[in-house]
Amino acid sequence: MVMDLPSELEFSLVTPDRQVVRESVIAVSIPGKDGYLGILPGHAPLLTELKPGEVSYTSAGITHYLAVSEGFAEVLPQRVIVLAQASERPEEIDLSRAEEARRRAEEILRQVESEAEREEARRALERAMARLEVAGRASRP
């Protein structure tokens, strides 16, 4: 039996304060907690937590990049939903703020002993790194 695979995915990315993306796309890449996941139409249902990183999606031949922080993603054959705590497009990222956040987190990691605070700082560092990485990206074919 031949299965009909959909040729496009409905991709939506939302954060508590806005809808960031809602588009028909042909491929999506998301930062799963255990590594990046590349998703094409017809993917089996999948549920994952996200770690801060880079989301990219391709629509109309152009690949777009976004920074996301912690969240979840639900993958269905015709749909990908990303629920993130925060997300920015490259042009929305405040470079100096991200840089400052990175320095602060590194400072804490160097000096502070308490494990809870270190964990908090590690997360902050991950978020800052994700932002810095995505800030340098431009949409491209």
Chain residues binding another protein by CB under 8 A are: 12, 14-19, 32-34, 37, 44-49, 72, 74, 76, 81, 83
**Those residues with Cβ within 8 angstroms of residue 39's Cβ, 6 or more apart along the chain or in another chain:** 9, 27, 28, 29, 30, 75, 80
CA proximity to 80, closest of 52, 64, 57, 63: 57
Q: Which of 46, 40, 12, 13 is nearest to 26 (CA)?
A: 40
Cβ of residue 65: shortest distance to another protein, in angstroms?
21
C-alpha to C-alpha distance for 84 and 15, rounded to whole angstroms: 5
Q: Report the nearest approach of another protein to the CB of residue 81 (Å).
A: 6
Closer residue to another protein, CB minimum distance, 76 or 132: 76
User: Smaller CB distance to another protein: residue 73 or 105?
Assistant: 73
CB of 43 to another protein, least distance (A): 9
Closest CB to another protein among residues 72, 132: 72
Least Å distance between CB 110 and another protein? 28
Rg from Cα positions in the chain? 16
